[in-house]
Amino acid sequence: MTVHTTTASRIQVRRRWLWIGAAALAAVAIGAVLALTVGRGGTSGSTPIPSASQGAQSAPSIMSLTPAELAAGALGLGYALPQAQHGPTTASVLASMSPSTRRYTKAITALTFAQLKAGAAGAP
């Protein structure tokens, strides 16, 4: 025996209309804010954004920049040249360990990621 009810579909239709109404209200509110902002000439205290053509005329070509100019932020991107790492070497760190810790560390670093995931490292 099959029973069909119409109350569930009425509730779904009401919910759908509520969502459509809420979306329409949100769109109207956003449109009103944009209209007010554009109506004032966009002077809402923010700085104007230059167009792409204005930026292209004032920025130098990337091909004409030296590495030092790039590092100094000529493109405004925060680019920095890589710095040489200064610190202890692997050999000096291993030499500073006790013999048992050194053996354990070498054994751990020789394991693959799959072995480490499987728990092959154990405990020191």
This prediction has a pTM of: 0.30
Question: What pLDDT is attached to residue 68?
Answer: 79
Closest CA to 66 of 81, 45, 88: 81
Residues 6+ apart with CB under 8 A from 59: 75
**Domains of the chain, residue spans:** 8-41, 91-124
Amino acid (1-letter code) at residue 54: Q
Q: What is the mean pLDDT of the chain?
A: 76
Rounded CA-CA distance 95/33 in Å is 67
C-alpha torsion 23→25→27→29, nearest 10:
-150
Question: Residue 1 has which token pair?
Answer: 């025996």
51-90 tens-digit pLDDT: 555 555 566 677 787 877 777 776 666 556 667 778 888 8
